[in-house]
Structure 1
Amino acid sequence: MSIFQSKKHAENCPECGASLQMKRSKQGLFLGCSAYPSCDYLKPLHNATHIIKNLDEHCPECHNPLQLKQGNYGMFIGCSNYPDCDFTVHDETEEIECFCPQCDENKLVARQGRSGKTFYGCAGYPQCRFTLFSKPIQKECPLCHSHIVTAKKVRGKKVYTCIMPSCQHSFIEEE
């Protein structure tokens, strides 16, 4: 047998029994079920999280030690018994006093992106995918009467800009 011959290792989906295929995403390679979209099983080929430190506290669900980990979206605390236990500690999200202009049901919350930058998104994610990259302020736009604007300082004055894509009116509020 030649060393250049491949040995095909077939792995089957644990959910439906179909074969798993190697696929690519922006996070890298993974195994996905060949019966997609009727079966959406995924298996990562590499662990995207790195353990930074073992902590003295224990998981409230399975009582294994907790770990400080680095993942795709920054640092987090998770159970050392992952994937059998998926307990994680999430930062408290700062809720803004503005309702989402897209769904008008949920409030906007501050979140951290993959790069660590703060953005503001609807608390109803993933059903509503509204996002802003500047902090929203509850103030009425004089042109379209939207109730959310963003603010920035320009030449010592606070300039407000409407967040509605159809408006984006900028104004300075006289004091």
Structure 2
Amino acid sequence: MNSSLFHHTKQEEHCPKCGSILQMKQGKKGLFLGCSAYPQCDYLRPLQRVEHKVLKTLEETCPQCGDLLALKQGAFGMFIGCCAYPQCDFVVHEEQKIEARIPCPECGKGHLVTRRGRQGKTFYGCNSFPHCKFSLPSTPYEMPCPQCGFPLALLKNESETGQHMQCANKTCRHSFEIAK
């Protein structure tokens, strides 16, 4: 019997960013290779290729490569992307729902943009994420709170008499009405 079959052959792969050894790790989306120098180096590479299920091939062509576009199902919901993926990574993005650039009241540097959570629910957060983690569950309005002066309010409901607003400040949450 050949004894070379029973010898342990360990393959080491090195990080392309810093040269440290890559380690196999388990995450919520499966196995991946991560740099052993983490958190100084944040390189990672998934071991399973993320597949997107093609629901329908569309008649429109990709502006980057000229191939057809397709309606696909991915980890974060449905989207339109190029059929030539992974060679072409074109994806049609949704338009931003907030047209007015509302400045972030927490950091003052960024502005609020429309985002989608893991379950597909829309929320509004600072575009300086992860440095600023300010977020709101519904559409913000530039309207100062009469009690604390916070610059944003959330619309709770509308009636014939006016709009019922709530302060977007999590420590205040003062409700007030604006007459029509």
Larger Rg: 2
Aligned to 1:160: 165
Q: Name the structure 2 match of 1:119.
A: 123
Alignment of 1:9-158 (within 5 A): 9-52=11-54, 53-95=56-98, 97=100, 98-153=102-157, 158=163
- How many residues end up aligned between the 2 structures? 174
Q: Find the residue that maps to 1:114 and give its secondary structure.
A: coil
The 2-side partners of 1:171 and 1:14 are apart by 56
Structure 1 residues 6, 118: closer, same or farther in 2, change over 3 A? Answer: farther
- Alpha-carbon distance change, 174 to 93 in structure 1, aligned in 2, over 3 angstroms: closer
In structure 2, what is the Cα distance between the partners aligned to 1:172 and 1:119?
23
> Does 135-144 or 70-79 show the bigger shift?
70-79
Greater shift, 13-22 or 139-148, is seen at 13-22
> Over residues 126-170 of structure 1, what are the superposed CA-to-partner deviations in whole Å (9 max), with x where a residue is unaligned?
443321002212222111112211122399985321111232222
Structure 1 residues 89 and 45: alpha-carbon distance in aligned structure 2, compared to 1, 3 A threshold: same
How many Å apart are 1:108 and its aligned residue? Answer: 2.1
TM score, norm. by length of structure 2: 0.74
Sequence identity (%): 48
- Cα distance in 1 for partners of 2:87, 2:22 equals 21
Distance in 2 (alpha carbons) for counterparts of 1:174 and 1:67: 48
Code of the aligned partner of 1:160: M
Structure 2: gaps (5+ residues): none
Q: 1:10-30: per-residue Cα shift (whole Å, max 9, x none)?
A: 444344443321223333321
Residue pair 1:161, 1:168 contacting (<8 A) in 2 also: yes
CA contact 2:163–2:179 (8 Å) conserved in 1: no
